[in-house]
Structure 1
Amino acid sequence: MKKIILCLLLCVSLLAVGCGADKGKLDPNNPVTLTMWHVYGSQTKSPLNDMIAKFNAGEGKKKGVIVQVVSVSNSTAIDKMLLSSAAAEPGSVTLPDLFTAYPRIMNKLDSNLLLPWEDYLSKEDLAVYREDFLKEGYYKQHLYMLPIAKSTELLFVNKTFMDSFLADRHISLQQLTDYDTLFALCPKYYAWSGGKQMFQINDFYHYFLTGMASLGDSFIKDGKPNLSGDKFWRIYQPMAQAAIAGGLCVEKGYASDRWKTGEVICNVGSTAGILYLRDYVTYPDNSKKQIVTAFLPAPRFKESSDKHILLQRGTGLFAVRSKQESKNQAAAVFAKWIAEKDNNLEFVTRAGYLPVNKAAMQQLMRYPELVSNKKYRQLYTVLQQTESSGTYLALPLYANAASVQAKLESSIKQILADAHKQYMRGLNSGAEPQPLLEQLTQDSLQQLQEAMK
């Protein structure tokens, strides 16, 4: 009888050990490997890859966690890969353990696939984040996305080329932060340069979001773009006229590509775009000219509210819920580490982003001069001017948000490009410039409204 009892006790103890293992106890001698897809840089030059290498050699080694980056791509490609893998489509790959994506992915993926971070991070762990950044990651009462870095938008100026244009116009660079001044200069530069574009808005969707918000209205209403009313016309008219008359680029692609060749000399875009803005221009004959880059606050309208509307951009960190509990625990270890003040600060300042850790943000905005890279130091000094008087605006989350944004971008560029061609043909035929411009502007808005129905 005693032998039977001993055997039963042994079985119970073994079961207890097994249950303990199921709870995800990490073991440095038997590390857990997490695969990851992300968007930060490229495979060969990525600030996040460098931070992951640091994690693996330090905290990861100590806790028994290894993060393995298997894909560095853009957010659109990652979205497609995630949806393909989640649906187990032919040729799809296994879902990663960790990935970065915009909040829009939460509308598309089965939330049962995602790890609710609040089950693995304490209130103290979550308290280190800025609340306005953290709240964007909630969906259906669960925290599925953690912020790891945020960006906003600035005006980037090729000062070397812009100074030549502004030299006899008695306009300072600082005046370019007024949208009316900036748009009015576009056609003048177009004529002065012999038909080159001066300015590019990387995301018209973002332009409308911040412009409408600065005037006290919303661009997205009931899940649809608000393309009517006096306030929308206020921000649409000067922009459209600059594109139709020439000087505002409405071609496909990002300004960083045209920046390299001097095809555009200023643009509104993400602060993280600094990674791709070179300090020289390459001419068609392959010769190069060194340039100086100026950073200015994103332009505003005269009627805008006193507070700067700072667009809140950036992907967040997701984890795929695993049946292997140790993987869930390991994901939390990495999430906590990358959000720690010093780690978060090191990561973001190498990529032109803003910290999500409250203490890190306070330190960066108080002492931007401590950033070693001169260009990045200038960028954060400009952000210091707007951050204290600004309010962050997150991208609205609604059904089909990504497809609505994509459709708006392609539609407005095509419509305005066609209107520019009509304008040039009209001028060549002897039409009066101003009446023609006003008519084409009205027509372009009607076409956009029809396209977005």
Structure 2
Amino acid sequence: MKKTTISIIISSFMAVTLAGCNTQNTSFKNKTTTLSIWHVYGSQTESPMNDIIDEFNQTVGKENNVVVEVTSISDSTAIDEAIVNAKEQDKLPDIFTAYPRIVNKIDKALLIDWSDYFTEQELDEYVDDFLNEGYFDDSLLMFPIAKSTELFFLDKTLYERFSDKKDFSDFNTIFDLCNQYYDYSNGKVMLQINDYYHYFYTQINALGGSFIENNRVNTDTKEFETVFLPTAKAAIYGGLSTDDGYASDKWKTAELISSIGSTAGIMYMRDYVTYENGEDEDIETGIYTYPTIDGAKPTVIQRGTGIFGVKSEDKQKNEDIALFVKWITEKEQNLRLTTEMGYLPVTKTAFDELFSNLNTVENPKYRQVYQTVSQMYDTYSFISLPLFENSDDVQKNFEESFKNTLREAHKTYVERVEEGADPNKTMEELLDVSLKSFKKQLQ
């Protein structure tokens, strides 16, 4: 999207009367406050978040003697580890973005309670579901800045050379296509699901089951097997990826042609692919609603990091952190930030304005993302991941165990079939063995 450049210098009076910014004006401070921030939006060289921060520094920050300095950009997994390490070394940044799971890894007392800096009237301006995810007991520790959900992405150019089927509403249909594509392409995967934990959680929930019980994955239900068996079959056959990493990396080289992942993944999905011989080919991207399984109630994850502030003994510094968070979540800034990354805005007015005026999103691919989300908004259940003791470890173990189990099963399947074993009998045997092995690893 084209970036908006603000050329008007905002007066110090305006800095405190901006909508939602009731933080005390600090423009008469004797010295500048520098706030460090670690975030997960983009890369070191290309980041809409960095552009927004630069704008803050040149306007409201300048008027209030506040400078926000980006000192690290990484993915959500790496930032968790970095935050834990920084906490142990007493070198936490002033501000960071992370998933709510980080609260279980560090001392809550280190974090700013945003409700101390936002009035009830101000908090009422934010989307309730987004805001509620940030409460821990009675403390608002994670503030919404940009949220996302998950969709089905398809390289239509390559897919249409393979099939003319256009119904992607059910996972079973997609998994059948995965197996057909594996044969068609001489052994390439068609689909990667970036987060199998999310997939199982939403689909088991949609089928009426309970995914987590007593702080562990509940594998002893018919819903668990209903989700596992068709998914495992596609992975064992070979059309569904069990590789690590994000699908966008393989998308660039046409190693796969579809993925289930975050709306924000659109930032990394190029409009062309590069083949092994170095040749490029332009592609058209199709974006579809999150599929269901066996006609279950449509259910999808509500995801996205939030912003955390590290509490300082310097009360003015805490005020400055709050000033920045209020400014960056105001409608104008938040709309520009989120729509340049494929995220959802977090205030009610910004959310309504976006979905009432989708034509204002200039990038057609990003516009397609929001059009697809709009189709889901009234008919889907949007649910957040459960947060419990060791939830991060449970999720990590789930992902690793699922991929490792089925990766080995696929290797065994190929070897046995090449040796002359009956494909159907071999598949049934490996499905049974894989299910038992997977369950055991999740105990």
**TM-score with structure 1 length normalisation?**
0.90
- Which position in structure 2 is the counterpart of 1:34? 35
Determine whether 1:151 maps to 2:148: yes
The structural deviation recorded for 1:28 is 4.8
Q: Determine which structure has the larger helix proportion and give its number.
A: 1
> Which of 297, 316, 331 is matched with 1:341 structurally?
331
Determine whether 1:98 maps to 2:95: yes
Determine whether 1:141 maps to 2:142: no
Determine whether 1:439 maps to 2:440: no
- Which position in structure 2 is the counterpart of 1:374? 364
Q: Does structure 1 conserve the Cα–Cα contact (< 8 Å) formed by 2:38 and 2:93?
A: yes
The structural deviation recorded for 1:288 is 0.6
CA distance in 1, matches of 2:117, 2:262: 32
CA distance in 1, matches of 2:144, 2:82: 21
- Which position in structure 2 is the counterpart of 1:331? 321
- Which position in structure 1 is the counterpart of 2:82? 81
Report the 3-state secondary structure (helix = DSSP H, G, I; strand = E; otherwise coil) of the residue aligned with 2:343: coil
The structural deviation recorded for 1:190 is 0.6
Quick one: which amino acid aligns to residue 272 of structure 2?
A: Y
> Alignment RMSD, CA only?
1.4
CA distance in 2, matches of 1:310, 1:178: 13
Report the 3-state secondary structure (helix = DSSP H, G, I; strand = E; otherwise coil) of the residue aligned with 2:308: strand
The structural deviation recorded for 1:443 is 0.9
The structural deviation recorded for 1:450 is 1.0
Quick one: which amino acid aligns to residue 372 of structure 2?
A: V
Alignment map for 1:18-417 (pairs within 5 Å): 26-28=26-28, 30-88=31-89, 94-167=91-164, 171-172=165-166, 175-305=167-297, 308-417=298-407
The structural deviation recorded for 1:218 is 2.4
Gaps spanning 5+ residues in structure 1: where?
Answer: 1-22
The structural deviation recorded for 1:366 is 1.9
The structural deviation recorded for 1:75 is 1.7
Quick one: which amino acid aligns to residue 379 of structure 2?
A: S
**TM-score with structure 2 length normalisation?**
0.92
CA distance in 1, matches of 2:182, 2:154: 16
Q: Does structure 2 conserve the Cα–Cα contact (< 8 Å) formed by 1:132 and 1:392?
A: no
CA distance in 2, matches of 1:301, 1:413: 20
Report the 3-state secondary structure (helix = DSSP H, G, I; strand = E; otherwise coil) of the residue aligned with 1:249: coil
CA distance in 1, matches of 2:397, 2:191: 22
Change (3 A) 1:25 1:356: closer
Q: Does structure 2 conserve the Cα–Cα contact (< 8 Å) formed by 1:24 and 1:326?
A: no
The structural deviation recorded for 1:444 is 0.6
Q: Does structure 2 conserve the Cα–Cα contact (< 8 Å) formed by 1:366 and 1:384?
A: no
CA distance in 1, matches of 2:51, 2:327: 14
The structural deviation recorded for 1:303 is 2.8
CA distance in 1, matches of 2:190, 2:397: 25
Change (3 A) 1:47 1:60: same
Q: Does structure 2 conserve the Cα–Cα contact (< 8 Å) formed by 1:40 and 1:48?
A: yes
CA distance in 2, matches of 1:210, 1:126: 28
The structural deviation recorded for 1:25 is 6.5
Report the 3-state secondary structure (helix = DSSP H, G, I; strand = E; otherwise coil) of the residue aligned with 1:200: strand
Report the 3-state secondary structure (helix = DSSP H, G, I; strand = E; otherwise coil) of the residue aligned with 1:317: strand
Percent of aligned pairs with the same amino acid: 45
Quick one: which amino acid aligns to residue 282 of structure 1?
A: T
Quick one: which amino acid aligns to residue 269 of structure 1?
A: G
Quick one: which amino acid aligns to residue 140 of structure 1?
A: D
CA distance in 2, matches of 1:365, 1:437: 45
CA distance in 2, matches of 1:431, 1:97: 60
Q: Deviations over 1:259-313 (max 9, x none)?
A: 01101100100110011101111111111111100100111123312xx322111
CA distance in 2, matches of 1:76, 1:420: 27
Q: Deviations over 1:341-369 (max 9, x none)?
A: 12111110000001111111111122212
Quick one: which amino acid aligns to residue 145 of structure 2?
A: I
Quick one: which amino acid aligns to residue 395 of structure 1?
A: L
Report the 3-state secondary structure (helix = DSSP H, G, I; strand = E; otherwise coil) of the residue aligned with 2:168: helix
The structural deviation recorded for 1:164 is 0.6
Q: Does structure 1 conserve the Cα–Cα contact (< 8 Å) formed by 2:170 and 2:295?
A: no
Quick one: which amino acid aligns to residue 119 of structure 1?
A: D
Aligned length: 420
The structural deviation recorded for 1:24 is 7.8
- Which position in structure 1 is the counterpart of 2:14? none
The structural deviation recorded for 1:63 is 2.8
**Max Rg structure:** 1
Report the 3-state secondary structure (helix = DSSP H, G, I; strand = E; otherwise coil) of the residue aligned with 1:176: coil
The structural deviation recorded for 1:429 is 2.3
- Which position in structure 2 is the counterpart of 1:3? none
CA distance in 2, matches of 1:440, 1:355: 45
The structural deviation recorded for 1:177 is 2.3
The structural deviation recorded for 1:316 is 0.5
Q: Does structure 1 conserve the Cα–Cα contact (< 8 Å) formed by 2:194 and 2:261?
A: yes
Quick one: which amino acid aligns to residue 214 of structure 1?
A: A
CA distance in 2, matches of 1:380, 1:252: 28
